[in-house]
Every structure is written in structure tokens, then in C-alpha cells.
Copies of this chain bind each other. A is one copy, B any other.
Amino acid sequence: MIEILKFFLTTHCLLEQEELSVALRYFKLKKVEKNQLLLFKGEVCNHLHFVNKGIIRTYFVTKNSTEKTRFVAFDGSVITALSSFISQTPSLEYIEVLESGEVWSINYHDFYLLKETLPNWAIFYTKILESAYIFQSYKIEHLMTLSAKERFENVLSQNPQFLTRLPNSVFASYLDISQETLSRIKSM
């Protein structure tokens, strides 16, 4: 079970064997249930989660109380409310379990500690930031230049799981379109 996390860390962190075993000690395995909230709006996010099994998303809520999905983590990737985690200030967004499963979680304190003690961990953190930045760059570009249908096709070509493993409502909110429009796009 821990093998997947190990694999993830070795490929993303360049950790030596013994650094790796140090790091792994700080991760705790946790079962998570569908609809469970791992973070409420207003709380400070002090965990980073590696999704071992299941699906987790971050979302925020608009004035007219509709949910907008910022990021979806399928099995094998990492998720946190990054803005809050970075700045250790109250989060504007929620972390929610979409599909039951289990996560390996590390808390901010330990994460920070590793950053101070293992140089390769600091590099890992930098990599997370860099890829998060680039990810959002594309998202902005797509919101500004692509039509609803083009955004749909683009996301789908990157990761078909958005269509197959998510409820319509979540996928729509991720694309920033209404469920009705998504439904119409699919039936073309």
C-alpha cells in the first residue's frame, strides 16, 4: 500500500533511500468516505494529502452559492488547499472526498521540518509550486480563450477520468459551465 506513495516520492523528490524512509515516517494513512470534508472554508489548511485510492477535489462557493471546482486529484496525485497551506491563513476553499478511498497525509509542521532538514524536500516543495503555477497558467489561458466545448475537449484529452469518474455537476463546475450546457455538449 505504501508502495505507491514511495514510488511517487522517489520520482518527484530525488530522495536517497534513507531520506525516503525518514520522510515516510511523517505520513499517516487515513480512510476517507465520499462526501467527507477534509477541510472547511475558514480553517487553516495544515495537511497535504497524497491520494492513494479514491478522488478528492478542492472547491469554493460563489455569492449565489454555487460550487466551483478548482482542482481534482485522482489516485496517485497530491492535493491540498495550496493558498492556505502556503500562507497558513484561513482557506477560502473546501477539500472534499468525491469517491471513498484512502490518503497518506503529512501535516504542515512536519512538511516544514522536512523542508529544513532534507534539501531534496525543499526542491520537492519548489516543484509542487512550479507545477501548480503552470497548471493555473493554462487554466487562465483556457478560460480566457476557449469556448465551453473547447474547454471540455481539452480537459477530456488530458484526462478522460473527468468524464468517466465524476458526476456531471462536478465536471461542469470544473469547466466553469452549467450542468445543462455540459449535457448538451456531450450529446453532439
Q: What CA separation (Å) do A92 and B141 show in the bound complex?
A: 10
Q: What CA separation (Å) do A97 and B109 show in the bound complex?
A: 43
For A130, list chain B residues within 8 Å (CB). 86-87, 129
**A145 B68 Cβ-Cβ under 8 A:** yes
Most buried by B among A60, A86, A137, A143: A137
Contact of A158 with B by CB under 8 A: no
Contacts A126-B129, A129-B129: A83 and B143 contacting too (C-beta < 8 A)?
A: no
* Beta-carbon nearest neighbor of A82 in chain B: B133
**B129 A136 Cβ-Cβ under 8 A:** no
For A122, list chain B residues within 8 Å (CB). 122
Q: What CA separation (Å) do A42 and B36 show in the bound complex?
A: 45
* Beta-carbon nearest neighbor of A130 in chain B: B86
**A129 B133 Cβ-Cβ under 8 A:** yes
A95 to chain B, nearest CB (A): 15
**A133 B86 Cβ-Cβ under 8 A:** yes
**B141 A60 Cβ-Cβ under 8 A:** yes
Secondary structure dominating the interface of A:
helix
**B140 A143 Cβ-Cβ under 8 A:** yes
Contact of A144 with B by CB under 8 A: yes
Contacts A87-B134, A122-B122, A126-B126: A144 and B176 contacting too (C-beta < 8 A)?
A: yes
Interface positions of A from 37 to 72, Cβ below 8 Å from B: 60, 62-63, 68, 70
Contact of A22 with B by CB under 8 A: no
Contact of A156 with B by CB under 8 A: no
Contacts A140-B139, A143-B144, A145-B63: A133 and B134 contacting too (C-beta < 8 A)?
A: no
A94 to chain B, nearest CB (A): 14
Contact of A125 with B by CB under 8 A: yes
Contact of A132 with B by CB under 8 A: yes
5 extra A-B contacts, CB within 8 A, seeds A82-B133, A143-B176, A144-B176: A83-B137, A87-B134, A133-B133, A133-B136, A143-B144
